[in-house]
Amino acid sequence: MAPPRRALVTRCPPVGAATRAPGAHPSSAPIPLAGIVFLVAAVLGPTMIAVGVSTATPLLLLAGVAVALVLIALLLLGMVC
């Protein structure tokens, strides 16, 4: 009877070792301005809509909808280009 096969064992890198994919940015790289603007718009749009609805302020509601539409347009444009 043949001995059972052992699974191929790979060793993990030591704790604290710097392992990064080739060409990857370091974790300390700054966030691009476009990313910051996107995150702010992603939070600000729905917040403005919610505040506009809850306080019955049409100006905030319309501004929130405008921010959300611009954000959707930029997402679609990013998918195409």
pLDDT for 23-74, tens place per residue? 777 778 788 888 888 899 999 999 999 999 999 999 999 999 999 999 999 8
Domain locations in the chain? Answer: 48-81
Distance between start and end Cα atoms, the chain = 61
**1 three-class SS:** coil
Residue with tokens 């919610």: 50
Q: Record the pTM.
A: 0.60
Give the Cβ contact number of residue 23 at 10 Å: 5
